[in-house]
Amino acid sequence: MKKVLILTLWAAATAACAQSDYDKSRATEVYAPVPRAVDTSGPVPSDAVVLFDGRNLEAWEAVKGGAAKWKLVDGAVEATKGTGDIRTRQSFCDVQLHVEWMTPAVPAENAPTGQARNNSGVFLQERYEVQVLDSYKAETYVNGQAGSVYKQSVPLVNASRPPETWQTYDIVYKAPRFDAGGKVSEKARVTVLHNGVVVQNGFEIEGPTAWIGQPPYESHGCAPIRLQDHGDAVRFRNIWVRPL
Ligand code: MG
């Protein structure tokens, strides 16, 4: 009888102890706010803003003014020499951005080299360029090759595909913050996946990207995404963005 009592007490104590751990575990559980559901069954996440789906350039305008004049070809849009950069009509701050791009074939003889080898670019907030370039078995300064934050950050690897092959950029971007005096209080950060491979891992952007020099940050708000007309027939397709 005594043995049974001891066993019963031991079982009760064990149960109480287990209950106690369960209660402790509940203290760190969070139930709200509940994340919104995003449907990912389609080609584009359900909460994405589609910027270009091959049909028209309604979401874009020419930086020079007026409608975007890049030409539509086979469900893509092609940077059209002399028409200038294009930018989204809508402004964005923190985003996840998906862009697909393709550089044209290069001739076997006298192929363009360096920065002339089919250059374009994706500018975040019109100021910070993730370089688009044919960097497949092609050399240039490494902080200017495909996947670089232009003149600031060399890509971790070269994930480039050959010309005439579609490539992807998936960019996670946190916009810079500025204090009341207009001074940068938190620099922009960017993570870039090139063809699914991380090439920029939370790089802290130093300021606007420039060909010459290193300009400092200047205070700005949300701003368009811009694509570069560098005079080369680089194509883009399937462009969508998720404001974060
Ligand atoms: Mg460029």
Q: What is the pLDDT of residue 88?
A: 98
Q: Ligand 1 center to residue 133 CA distance, Å?
A: 7
Centroid of ligand 1 to alpha carbon of 140 (angstroms): 12
Predicted pLDDT of residue 19: 78
C-alpha of residue 86 to centroid of ligand 1, in Å: 13
The answer to whether residue 1 scores a pLDDT higher than 60 is no
148 CA to centre of ligand 1 in angstroms: 10
Distance in Å, CA 211 to ligand 1 centroid: 9
Provide the pLDDT for residue 10.
61
**What is the CA(130)–ligand 1 centre distance, in A?**
8
Pairing of strands 120-124, 226-227: antiparallel
Distance 226 CA to ligand 1 centre (A): 11
Q: Provide the whole-model pTM.
A: 0.90
For 132-176, how does the pLDDT look when each residue is reduced to its tens digit (9 = 90+)? 999 999 999 999 999 999 999 999 999 999 999 999 999 999 999
Lowest-confidence segment of 3-7, 119-123, 135-139 by average pLDDT: 3-7
Tens of pLDDT, residue by residue over 197-207, are 999 999 999 99
The pLDDT, as a whole number, for residue 115 is 96
Q: Which domains does the chain have, with CATH numbers?
A: 49-243 (2.60.120.560)
Contacts by 53-61 with C-beta closer than 8 Å and gap 24+? Answer: 53/238, 54/237, 54/238, 57/86, 59/88, 59/89, 59/90, 60/86, 60/87, 60/88, 60/89, 61/86, 61/87, 61/88, 61/89
